[in-house]
Amino acid sequence: MTVRSLATAPPLGRAATPSPWRRFWRRNGAGYAMLSPWLIGFFGLTIGPALISLYLSFTNFDLLQAPNWIGGANYVRMFTADAKFLQSLRVTFFFVLFSVPLKLIFALAIALLLNRGIKGLPLYRAVFYLPSLLGASVAVAVLWRELFAGDGLVNRLLALVGIVGPSWISNPRYSLWTLILLSVWQFGSPMIIFLAGLRQIPRDVYEAAAIDGAGRTRLFWSITLPLLTPVVFFNAVIQTIDAFKSFTPAFIISGGTGNPINSTLFYTLYLYQEAFGFFRMGYASALAWILLIIIAVFTGISFLSSRYWVHYDE
């Protein structure tokens, strides 16, 4: 409130030409005053820490003693002498590679079904959206742990039809798949974005194509999908970044270990173990920067490739 009155009131008893600092303040004071909480946060919580983290990634640091510069040794160790790091990369890429496309396919399929003027749309939409709203919680991860345990609900259901299921979460062949399934189960929010995108496609395009004799399949491949590519692109980028950062389900389901035999050792879980289990803060910082690079490279490739497959309105 006082910012502007200060800035506009003529300085009492001062010379007619104000100092440049004063002039700057008069023009920009209100803006910077209102921006100040964010600026403090930006330097103190974002850029400052990010740069310090970059520095720490070249050091050995255990919180107790001052960081000790070791050059690129953390990065060298990662790629040459750390099987667990490579395993966590494999697990994370596998998770991203399967969970994201499956989730998007489900989201699109259900959105297409719902977009045909179906009765009860709001109810269906709410039902499909609910898991995506609740799914990131610890409660649902806890539930998943029971569902896919050896004597869990899934196996009891399978037993009804005479199948003896394995203990899904403690078998390294299936454990990661239970996490992929948990992620796919949360297809609700991309579905809502697809629905909004489908509604943007003008009806007359379909009518024109139908008059020209295009069938349902043809309509989908030649009209719906091309016109929806910006939405597909958006969903794919958002979901992929999110999948790279996924932490809670793997932590809860494996009890923080990433087991059985590191089959659910997500990258973020490994980073957490290094930082807060072993207090190798320098090494964990290097892991964080590699994660940033992976996400940046992935996003860059997506944007570059989008030129060839995403149709934007002229």
Q: If you compute the radius of gyration of the chain from its CA atoms, what whole number of angstroms results?
A: 27
| CA-based end-to-end distance of the chain | 45
| Closest distance to another protein from the beta carbon of 14 (Å) | 22
Q: Which is nearer to another protein, 97 or 134 (CB)?
A: 134
| Closest distance to another protein from the beta carbon of 312 (Å) | 17
DSSP 8-class letter at 19: -
Q: Which is nearer to another protein, 13 or 243 (CB)?
A: 243
The angle that helices 281-309 and 73-81 make with each other, rounded to 10 degrees, is 70
Q: Which is nearer to another protein, 14 or 27 (CB)?
A: 27
In whole angstroms, give the CA distance from residue 136 to residue 140. 7
| Closest distance to another protein from the beta carbon of 75 (Å) | 15
| Closest distance to another protein from the beta carbon of 38 (Å) | 4
Q: Give me 77's structure tokens.
A: 């160790």
Q: Which is nearer to another protein, 76 or 139 (CB)?
A: 139
Cis check for the bond before 249: say yes or no (omega within 30 of 0): no
| Closest distance to another protein from the beta carbon of 192 (Å) | 5
In whole angstroms, give the CA distance from residue 217 to residue 14. 79
The burial class, CB within 10 Å (0-12 / 13-18 / 19+), for 102 is: middle
Provide CB contacts within 8 A for 118, sequence distance 6+: 124
Q: Which is nearer to another protein, 13 or 222 (CB)?
A: 222
